[in-house]
């Protein structure tokens, strides 16, 4: 049976053994990149309708796997060298069983660490609407880090973008509950969208300094359900840096690690931290270390992939963990060299961010 499963996708340039720990070493792609970071979408439901992500209506079909299936898939990826797991969605806090899943993942050990006491790095991305009551249980279950998406620090602009009135104060309480629970340093992700929130840049700088959080500005990418993206809607990195420097002089900080996606800064008095993630104006594909699992069990090797790879289908047909490992190695070999946003012929993926898992 293994052989028929393994011919579904042929490896590009390496024979693939069906033996995990088969001497092939850590998961890597055909461009020499080590793949260490798995993003798992645990639901594609969301309680927000952000203007840059979703349509205003809720006609979509949702698709989730049982929690145990995510756990099995994560375990297989970890056996191949994945040592960083980010749980995301949709909105992951909507998913029943999330705290237990974090606990189960926290019990796994990285497969290729020299230190036998090494642990996985477990992170979560959330909109924070349901976070106040969940921050401490998630931390206690083993969550290491949290990223909270907030696209404004003005409650009216926040409501205009999320299309959910009254949520800003809840998210702020979620940020503070996360600090209190020991999940700091907390990252706040803000997607900047021309005409909606570029006037929030300076207010976010103040927020970083006052709340002791890392604010990361993200360029808007063409991954929305509606067709709203144009190059003009992107607020590019240079403009963000210019505005921040006018607010208060910026000082560059070194990257935290080799596959860091953010350009990091503090201000001249050392207070506050800003990251700028610029996949459109300054792509960082060359050191991308990520793969994604969609909520319906498909592997995506790039946010902008034109196709998914049906891992759960393989599982449902009775694949062993070894079959899954070999299949994953072959799929990851085909990871795209880079995205082509802004180039002639660029094709937007058919799935939006809420379905891919951000």
Asked if 23 contacts 16 with a C-beta cutoff of 8 angstroms, the reply is no
Q: Helix, strand, or coil here: 44?
A: coil
Asked if 135 contacts 174 with a C-beta cutoff of 8 angstroms, the reply is yes
Residue 289 makes contact with ligand SAM by CB under 6 A: no
Calpha distance 324→76 (Å, rounded): 7
Reference 244, options 216, 274, 223; nearest CA is: 274
Residue of the chain from 125, 178, 259, 289 that contacts ligand SAM (CB under 6 A)? 125
Residue 5 makes contact with ligand SAM by CB under 6 A: no
Q: How far is the CB of 119 from ligand SAM (least distance, A)?
A: 23
Residue of the chain from 36, 79, 126, 208 that contacts ligand SAM (CB under 6 A)? 126
Closer Cβ to ligand SAM, 83 or 224, answer by number: 224
**Stretch of residues binding ligand SAM (CB under 6 A), selected from 67-75, 120-128, 282-290, 310-318:** 120-128
CA dihedral 280, 281, 287, 291 (to 10 degrees): -10
**Stretch of residues binding ligand SAM (CB under 6 A), selected from 67-75, 119-127, 252-260, 304-312:** 119-127
Window 248 to 277, contacts with ligand SAM (CB under 6 A): none
Binding flags for ligand SAM, 42-71, as an x/- string (CB under 6 A): ----x-----xx------------------
Q: Would you put residue 270 in left (φ > 0), alpha (ψ -120 to 50) or beta?
A: left
Binding flags for ligand SAM, 321-340, as an x/- string (CB under 6 A): --------------------
Which helix (H) or strand (E) element contains residue 100? helix 98-106
Closer Cβ to ligand SAM, 35 or 192, answer by number: 192
Residue 40 makes contact with ligand SAM by CB under 6 A: no
Q: Could you identify the residue written with the tokens 């340039």?
A: 13
Q: Give Cα 174 to chain centroid, integer Å.
A: 19
User: What beta strand segments (E) does 36-172 contain?
Assistant: 37-41, 84-88, 121-126, 145-149
Q: How far is the CB of 290 from ligand SAM (least distance, A)?
A: 13
Binding flags for ligand SAM, 201-240, as an x/- string (CB under 6 A): -----------------x-xx-xx----------------
Give the relative orientation of helices 98-106 and 67-79 as an angle to the nearest 10 degrees.
20
C-beta nearest to ligand SAM: residue: 358
Closer Cβ to ligand SAM, 81 or 89, answer by number: 89
Closer Cβ to ligand SAM, 143 or 218, answer by number: 218
Determine how β-strand 214-219 pairs with β-strand 187-192: parallel
User: What beta strand segments (E) does 51-167 contain?
Assistant: 84-88, 121-126, 145-149
Residue of the chain from 89, 272, 297, 349 that contacts ligand SAM (CB under 6 A)? 89
Q: Helix, strand, or coil here: 147?
A: strand
Residue 144 makes contact with ligand SAM by CB under 6 A: no
Calpha distance 183→173 (Å, rounded): 14
CA distances to 77, 191, 289 from 161, rounded to whole Å, are: 35, 10, 30
Residue 85 makes contact with ligand SAM by CB under 6 A: no
Q: How far is the CB of 39 from ligand SAM (least distance, A)?
A: 9
Q: How many residues does the chain have?
A: 358
For binding to ligand SAM (CB under 6 A), which residues are involved? Answer: 46, 52-53, 88-89, 91, 125-127, 149, 189, 191, 218, 220-221, 223-224, 353-354, 358
């Amino acid at each position: 049976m293994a052989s028929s499963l393994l011919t579904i996708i042929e490896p590009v340039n390496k024979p693939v053994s069906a033996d995990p720990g088969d001497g092939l070493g850590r998961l890597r792609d055909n461009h020499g990149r080590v793949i260490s970071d798995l993003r798992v979408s645990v639901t594609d439901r969301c309680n927000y309708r952000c203007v840059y992500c979703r349509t205003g209506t809720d006609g979509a079909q949702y698709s989730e796997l049982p929690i145990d299936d995510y756990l099995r898939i994560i375990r297989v990826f970890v056996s191949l060298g994945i040592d960083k797991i980010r749980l995301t969605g949709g909105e992951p806090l909507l998913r029943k069983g999330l705290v237990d899943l974090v606990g189960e993942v926290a019990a796994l050990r990285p497969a290729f660490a020299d230190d036998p006491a090494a642990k996985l790095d477990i992170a979560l991305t959330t909109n924070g609407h349901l976070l106040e009551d969940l921050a401490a249980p998630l931390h206690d279950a083993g969550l290491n880090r949290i990223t909270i998406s907030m696209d404004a620090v003005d409650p009216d602009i926040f409501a205009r973008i999320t299309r959910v009135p009254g949520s800003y104060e809840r998210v702020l309480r979620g940020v503070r509950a996360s600090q209190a629970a020991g999940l700091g340093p907390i990252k706040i992700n803000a997607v900047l969208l021309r005409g909606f929130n570029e006037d929030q840049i300076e207010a976010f700088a103040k927020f970083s300094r006052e709340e002791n959080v890392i604010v990361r500005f993200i360029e808007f990418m063409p991954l929305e359900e509606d067709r709203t993206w144009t190059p003009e809607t992107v607020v590019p990195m240079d403009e963000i840096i210019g505005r921040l420097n006018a607010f208060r002089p910026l000082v560059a900080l070194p990257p935290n690690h080799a596959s860091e996606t953010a350009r990091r800064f503090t201000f001249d008095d050392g207070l506050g931290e800003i990251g700028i993630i610029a996949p459109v104006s300054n792509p960082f594909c060359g050191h991308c270390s990520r793969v994604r699992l969609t909520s319906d069990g498909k592997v995506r090797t790039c946010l902008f992939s034109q196709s998914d790879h049906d891992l759960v289908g393989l599982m449902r047909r009775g694949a062993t963990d070894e079959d899954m490992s070999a299949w994953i190695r072959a799929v990851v070999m085909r990871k795209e060299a880079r995205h082509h946003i802004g180039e002639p012929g660029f094709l937007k993926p058919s799935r939006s961010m809420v379905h891919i898992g951000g």
